[in-house]
Amino acid sequence: MFQLRIVKGGFSFLGVRRIVVLNAAHQSTQHKDYKPIKKVMVANRGEIATRVFRACTELGIRTVAVYSEQDTGQMHRQKADEAYLIGKGLPPVQAYLHIPDIIKVAKENEVDAIHPGYGFLSERADFAQACVDAGVRFIGPSPEVVRRMGDKVEARTIAIDAGVPVVPGTATPITSLAEAQEFANSYGYPIIFKAAYGGGGRGMRVVRNYEISVDDTGG
């Protein structure tokens, strides 16, 4: 399912999304007993994991890395105080998406909180809920907020209902070429196709005219 968005001026929806998420996350943490975080796991790899580890070290918080079989020599593993294998026998991406293994490592090693980084499980409401169910803090919004923001169509609707300006786009996912052409005829080119559940820029395509000419803007 894809949603169309026009590429002409307007406010950055990503910025809007961050404001909404952070505000909801702040509200969800009110009136809860405070418990110091002594050990943080990053359910991610590469630069993002390394940066979180550095911040934790500066705060005196012990760090835990997880890694796939193919990432045994990666930098993020070396930068953490502890490191554990996850997703044995799985390709790298699937390993970092293996929620049961991640939760198991967290519980067995007294992890207080899990940081999802970006990509991978960062927009998975079921992962945020699995952390809550396991008694481990999810460093991010509540599972419900993650669910609503992960669906870009619903996130857009929330922003509009809150009176936040957004760039022109379809109100619902498009289901046919005719719908896409109708939108383009109304607003002009270029337009962007974006997967309703696409995150981190994935699945975004720029269309500059009706002749099939597509640029990949996502990683």
Both 106 and 169 in one domain: the answer is: no
Q: How many domains does the chain have?
A: 2
Please indicate, yes or no, if residue 76 is contained in any of the structural domains: yes
Per the model's pLDDT, the better-predicted residue between 202 and 205 turns out to be: 205
Q: Cα(110)–Cα(106) distance, rounded to whole angstroms?
A: 6
**Domain edge (last residue) among 84, 112, 141:** 141
Identity of the residue numbered 50: T
Per the model's pLDDT, the better-predicted residue between 54 and 195 turns out to be: 54
Q: Is the pTM of this model over 0.75?
A: no
**Domain edge (last residue) among 107, 141, 175:** 141
Please indicate, yes or no, if residue 25 is contained in any of the structural domains: no
Joined tokens for residue 45 = 């790899």
Q: Hunting for tokens 């719908």 — which residue is that? A: 179
Identity of the residue numbered 68: S
Both 37 and 135 in one domain: the answer is: yes
Identify the weakest region by mean pLDDT among 26-35, 57-66, 150-159: 26-35
Both 43 and 132 in one domain: the answer is: yes
Q: Cα(139)–Cα(93) distance, rounded to whole angstroms?
A: 21
For residue 205, the enclosing domain spans 2-18+150-216
Please give the share of the chain, as a percent, with pLDDT higher than 90.
56
Average pLDDT over residues 65-90: 96
Please indicate, yes or no, if residue 26 is contained in any of the structural domains: no
Average pLDDT over residues 28-32: 50
Position 21 scores a pLDDT of 43
